[in-house]
Amino acid sequence: MTINEPLHTAVNGYGLGRFAPGRNENSSTETYIAAHHQLLAHAAAFSIYQCKYKEKQGGQVGLVVDCEWAEANSDKIEDKIAAARRLDFQLGWYLNPIYFGEYPEVMREILGDRLPKFTEEEKKLLKNSLDFIGLNHYTSRFIAYVKESPEESDFYKAQQMERIVEWEGGELIGEKGASEWLYVVPWGIRKVLKYIAQKYNNPPVYVTENGMDDEDNDTLPLHEMLNDKLRVIYYKGYLAAVAQAIKDGVDLRGYFAWSLLDNFEWAEGYTKRFGLVYVDYKNGLTRHPKSSAYWFLRFFKVDECKNGKSE
């Protein structure tokens, strides 16, 4: 995997300035320049591997993109178009140049000269420059069209949409994780996997990240931190949806839970815990399996029994 979540480097690193290198002075152009060069760097790495190492090593090279599923907030045509535009600004931004040789048409129309252009040589370098797609997926949103987006960055304003986390009756789209952006919406992963299969001719896909976080709270006793019931519910729902996507015909080759261990989470540091295993940062980094870790252990044993591999 050449680059992980290039969108976040481009948008949060060069647009909003939240992530390294913390730039936001020229967000209306630097965001797209950063993404452009990440794509070219990926394609160059793929080309070098194909020429020098593929025959000897037999490995595969992919790019890891991240995507919230965008569900139209209503049956109105403008909401449906806004949801499709949202997906183009997430997935199409990186995958269209690789599969079709150019950025999505809607991005070119809206951004104009702010969006860099590929030379013919670069298009050849980019075309089909991956063996698989890595997908990081955590959550989903309802998308409604708005002419003037309330979002703070140029990248989101350009999409002319509002991200909504409530059903029409006011109920949340799903239970909320610790991060302000994360809700438990299992049906979204099935939809995004089917979307990739339909739009990009069913390429091999690995779900390279999927999971949810708890808030770090050192005032709680350890046994309460280990009893992560919502994470168990999350994985049950999302894995069931992944299984449905496979039945739908999606060429899904593998699945990775994020994460094995509690870890340093972007700009949030150690305040968010995504791990199946609790890491005690104050006592020698000792590790304690959470309920979700034991759930996965039972899940694998059941799977082995179904396949006749259990002792």
Instruction: Indicate which residues carry an active-site annotation.
Output: 5, 209
Q: Are 180 and 138 in contact (CB under 8 A)?
A: no
Strands (E), 99-257: 132-136, 140-145, 161-164, 205-209, 214-215, 252-255
Structure token pair of residue 56: 């000897």
In the chain, the largest separation of any two C-alpha atoms, in whole Å, equals 63
Could you give phi then psi for residue 142, rounded to 5 degrees? Answer: -85, 140
Question: Are the C-beta atoms of 214 and 273 separated by less than 8 Å?
Answer: yes
d(CA 168, CA 79): 14
| Nearest-angstrom CA–CA distance, 69 and 67 | 6
Retrieve residue 50's tokens. Answer: 């194909």
At 208, the amino acid letter reads T
CB 282 within 8 A of CB 218: yes
Dist CA 15 CA 103 (whole Å): 19
Nearest Cα neighbor of 79 from 28, 159, 143, 133 is: 143
CA distance readout (Å), 303 to 103, 117, 238, 245, 298: 41, 48, 16, 18, 9
The burial class, CB within 10 Å (0-12 / 13-18 / 19+), for 165 is middle
Rg, the chain, Cα only: 20
What is the rounded CA–CA span in Å between residue 85 and residue 107?
Answer: 8
